Structure 1
Amino acid sequence: MQRTGEQLRQLLGQQLSRAVVPLATAPLATLNRRRPALVAPSSPAAAAARFADYDDAPVAAPAPLDYNPYRDNFSDMNPDGSYIFGYSLPNGVRRWERGYFSGQQQSRVVEGFSVEPRHYQSGVSYELRCYRADAYGYHPLGIEYIQQPPVVRRDLLPRVHCLNLQR
């Protein structure tokens, strides 16, 4: 029995050693070309330069002059369980969400929106999708097309028509 177990270990070791290619056998040129799967360009100009080879490359939206990744990307949790979360990217992608306990419904409520740029021949438009989730389920609140994405910052509520946010 012990001999059979040892034979199985040797056989398994041989199969595994053939299945894994050592790093030294990979061509160095291949390793130099490897890049992470997702790398965000640092600016709209970098994105345009990066995708210049493509005929149907989207035109990057101009970045807000006061873009600050430390101020515009946040996730804050309060001791009572409520939270606020948001991020803003230079190309116009935005996301904002808050969760809180509603005394009226006696349940947790989550509401928020996401914005994505849509490139058309006439220019860039932004698709705004709002939602609300509560004890009665998930409720998409409609889609709007706007000319400028809403400002998403830690210290102020975004101005969007589809959410009834207290100002």
Structure 2
Amino acid sequence: MARHKKLEPIEDEDPKLDISSLIDVCFLLLIYFIVATSLIQERKLDMSMPGSAPSDTAAQIEPALIRIIKDGTIYWGKDNSLMIDNDMNNHNLSTLVQQLEAKKQEASAVGTKPVVQLWVEGEVPHQRVIDVMNALTEAGITTVALTDLKDD
């Protein structure tokens, strides 16, 4: 008579996954994207604050005032009569640059540096202020005062 062997049940082992090759691929992808990505270069904003001590000579031209209100609209002057730009997506403020270049020429005609006062409401997005600063840099104006002028 033949002997029948009882088959022992095969123990289920937990499946194992070797992730060492997965880690290698992740590092290779990381290195690839670090090397392949071009870094965005920010413009250097070369600004200086005007001196607080009164000078011996009186200013011969009045400082320009740029106002930025909550919705991102940019105005030139205290009376809000000249709207420069109201499109938040427009980062190229060529009209403002033209106004600033005219102010710079006016100041250089009398032998002074142009001074710009920047008045910004509290809820203005920071990118809008940076757009104005970039326009100041493009026009070559480096004397900027942040102000909180109130109408009397």
TM-score range, shorter chain: under 0.3
Bigger share in strand: 1
Higher relative contact order by CA 8 Å / sep ≥ 6: 1 or 2?
A: 2
TM norm structure 1: 0.24
Structure of greater Rg: 2
Bigger share in helix: 2
